[in-house]
């Protein structure tokens, strides 16, 4: 069984009719399941989550993007979230039974199709065509408003599509990435400096664990502090590694862990890692989970 | 979403044609998934695993049992496993979103239907009609061969069906139980007495954890010993409780845990318990697992 996920972000979070008709394009594909649509009025942005076998997901993403491009006009878009285009970011995420290589191929084919239809496209993360284009914030610098000028230089020639400014749709960033796990550990202390210090130690940028982004957060209402993380590849650094590290670091200051929390959805394989680690169940497999077998038998 | 599992054991493990046509009866029910069929020639016995919404599972179990009763004649049955009838045991197991009460109701209705069709039935475990009939080994004592005599006494009057010996089909034991987790912890020692001692301490029968059966096993090939367990209700005693206890007991003798193993299939909720325990993720829910959401969206 193969599950590829697509989590596109579009620059429309206020008009429910438009959002519904864009979602409808995904629902037209019977092999694809639309799990979630989250719209934010302040950001004027919506995030869709759908998944299925790779070819079906690619097809659904294409209908989805074309409808969004038809309905969204960036010339009148206002919102609090950084953005560069009508269909702003389209990541493809291997959830189960899909190699990253295949997710990259889907992203590249999807981008090529959109290029043919006059949209221009940058590839990012695992689908990036050069190291300088891996990071989304870097590509998106200057946002929609700076795009016309950005496109005049050779450095920001799009990976696909015409090399000209498209005022209605802006640019689209398409890529492939590992499932992202939003994971927080709350500490039984009001010492915000400690949370920031531990966040610094745990994150890769400052010499910590690979594929970990982290920051300290002050949870004043709860009288706690938090190490808030994104685990960008749980096969490399999973929940047990960061939890145990934070527990130990806090313990040195006689601070206990209050609780930890997983935000949003995670693939079953993340739980496989936890079981293998904590009870030394080295051979445990998600294929031993009844619910997984039901999915496979369909 | 509701998932009820049915794991019937029949007294036929040698004739693949018969086994296939009994399995076919389950497959005729589109809402029910047949996950597994395991046949043992020495035991001359097969175990089927199928699941779905409770009413569909009840219907599938009925067609299944009627076909097995048609094809199996206990008068010529020989096999190594204790058994009392053609359809020997039919447990209904709540896997997800089903209360035990509902599983008991399904078992009772299923038993009543079979009673009407001339099969006689004992209810066991959570579906038992009296405390003396809770335990399968107790009901099955004397096996098929002792059944004629057993039925002559008032004590073993069946819960459903005619009160007379049916030589072709024998008796059927129908019930409801929690998912059973077969879980072993292997210890880095050849001290078999230690495994037996820890098994004694961990099992309920000798004052240990509720809903735990355990025995010591000598894994001579591997040069290890094992505490082999059945966890009969993981909501009461889960994997973390027994793993940590065994690790600590072994540690007192300076013996380490080599690894642990889950045998066969487990419900996703068992993993929920592990995540909540080890990383204090108290609010973690199986609804945060992508694969679970896919199932729910069907």
What pLDDT is stored for residue A297 in this prediction? 86
Domains and CATH numbers, chain B: 3-176 (3.30.990.10), 181-266 (3.30.70.670)
Q: How confident is the model at residue B80 (pLDDT cuts 50, 70, 90)?
A: confident
- Tokens 């001290």 map to which residue? B191
Q: Regarding beta strands B224-231 and B212-219, do their DSSP bridges make them parallel or antiparallel, or are they unpaired?
A: antiparallel
Q: How confident is the model at residue A92 (pLDDT cuts 50, 70, 90)?
A: very high
Which of these, A107, A176, A104, A109, lies nearest to A136 by C-alpha position?
A: A176
CA A4, A5, A8, A9 dihedral sign is negative
The residue-averaged pLDDT of B100-119 equals 96
Rounded to whole angstroms, how far apart are CA atoms B261 and B222?
A: 14
Candidate list B29, B43, B81, B282, residue with the active-site label: B81
Distance of CA B269 to the CA centre of its chain: 17
Out of A266-275, B156-165, B225-234, least confident range: B156-165
In tens, the pLDDT along A104-117 reads 999 999 999 999 98
Q: Regarding beta strands A171-176 and A87-96, do their DSSP bridges make them parallel or antiparallel, or are they unpaired?
A: parallel
CB nearest B280 (choices: A260, A267, A293): A260
Count CB-CB contacts under 10 A for residue A207: 9
Residue B281: pLDDT over 80:
yes
The residue-averaged pLDDT of A247-260 equals 98
Q: How confident is the model at residue B162 (pLDDT cuts 50, 70, 90)?
A: confident
Q: How confident is the model at residue A192 (pLDDT cuts 50, 70, 90)?
A: very high
What pLDDT is stored for residue A113 in this prediction? 96
The dihedrals phi and psi of B81, each to the nearest 5 degrees, come to -100, 140
The whole-angstrom distance between B1's CA and the closest CA on chain A is 12
Q: Regarding beta strands B87-96 and B171-176, do their DSSP bridges make them parallel or antiparallel, or are they unpaired?
A: parallel
pTM of the predicted protein model: 0.90
Question: What amino acid positions of A are annotated as catalytic residues?
Answer: 81
> Please, which residues bridge with residue B212 across strands?
B231
**Chain A positions touching chain B (beta carbons under 8 Å):** 3, 5, 33-36, 51, 95-96, 179, 239-240, 243, 257-262, 264-268, 271, 274-275, 278-284, 286, 288-295, 297-298
Out of A273-287, B162-176, B251-265, B268-282, least confident range: B162-176
Q: Closest residue of B to A296, CA-based?
A: B35
Q: Closest residue of B to A184, CA-based?
A: B281
The whole-angstrom distance between A154's CA and the closest CA on chain B is 41
- Tokens 């997983």 map to which residue? A262
CA max distance for chain B: 60
Site from B258, B266, B294, B296 to mutate, A interface, most A CB atoms within 10 angstroms: B294
Q: How confident is the model at residue A286 (pLDDT cuts 50, 70, 90)?
A: very high
In tens, the pLDDT along B16-32 reads 999 999 999 999 999 99
Q: B267 to chain A: which residues are within 8 Å by CB?
A: 289-291
Question: B81 an active-site residue?
Answer: yes
What pLDDT is stored for residue B159 in this prediction? 95
CB nearest B271 (choices: A240, A267, A275): A275
Distance of CA B268 to the CA centre of its chain: 17
Q: How confident is the model at residue A154 (pLDDT cuts 50, 70, 90)?
A: confident
Rounded to whole angstroms, how far apart are CA atoms A30 and B195?
A: 53
Q: B266 to chain A: which residues are within 8 Å by CB?
A: 288-290
Q: Transcribe B118-187 into DSSP letters.
A: T-EEEEEETT-SSGGGS-HHHHTTTTGGGHHHHTTSGGG--SBS-SS--TTTBEEEEEE-PPPEEEEEEE
What pLDDT is stored for residue A162 in this prediction? 86
Distance in angstroms between the alpha carbons of the first and the last residue of chain B: 9
The residue-averaged pLDDT of A37-44 equals 93
B280·A258 Cβ contact <8 A: yes
């Amino acid at each position: 069984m193969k599950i590829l996920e697509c989590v596109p972000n579009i620059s429309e979070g206020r008009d429910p009719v438009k959002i519904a008709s864009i979602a409808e394009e995904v629902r037209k594909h019977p092999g694809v399941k639309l799990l979630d649509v989250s719209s934010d009025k302040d950001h004027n942005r919506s995030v869709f989550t759908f998944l299925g076998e790779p070819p079906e997901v690619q097809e659904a993403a294409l209908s989805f993007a074309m409808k969004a491009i038809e309905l969204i006009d960036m010339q009148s878009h206002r919102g609090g979230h950084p953005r560069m285009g009508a269909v702003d970011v389209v990541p493809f995420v291997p959830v189960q039974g899909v190699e990253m290589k295949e997710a990259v191929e889907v992203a590249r084919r999807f981008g090529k199709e959109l290029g043919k239809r006059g949209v221009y496209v940058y590839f990012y993360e695992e689908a990036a065509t050069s190291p300088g284009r891996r990071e989304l914030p870097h590509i998106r610098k200057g946002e929609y408003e700076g795009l016309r000028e950005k496109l005049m230089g050779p450095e920001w020639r799009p990976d696909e599509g015409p090399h000209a400014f498209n005022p209605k749709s802006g640019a689209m960033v398409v890529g492939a990435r590992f499932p992202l796990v939003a994971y927080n550990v709350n500490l039984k202390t009001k010492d915000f400096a400690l949370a920031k210090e531990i966040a610094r130690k745990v994150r890769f940028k400052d010499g910590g664990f690979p594929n970990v982004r982290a920051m300290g957060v002050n949870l004043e209402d709860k009288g706690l502090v938090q190490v808030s993380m994104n685990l960008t590849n749980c096969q490399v650094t999973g929940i047990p590694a960061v939890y145990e590290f934070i527990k130990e670091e806090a313990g040195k200051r006689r601070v206990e862990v209050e609780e930890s929390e997983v935000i949003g959805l995670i693939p079953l394989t993340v739980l496989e890692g936890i079981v293998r680690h904590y009870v030394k169940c080295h051979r445990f497999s998600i294929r031993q989970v009844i619910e997984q077998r039901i999915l496979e038998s369909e």
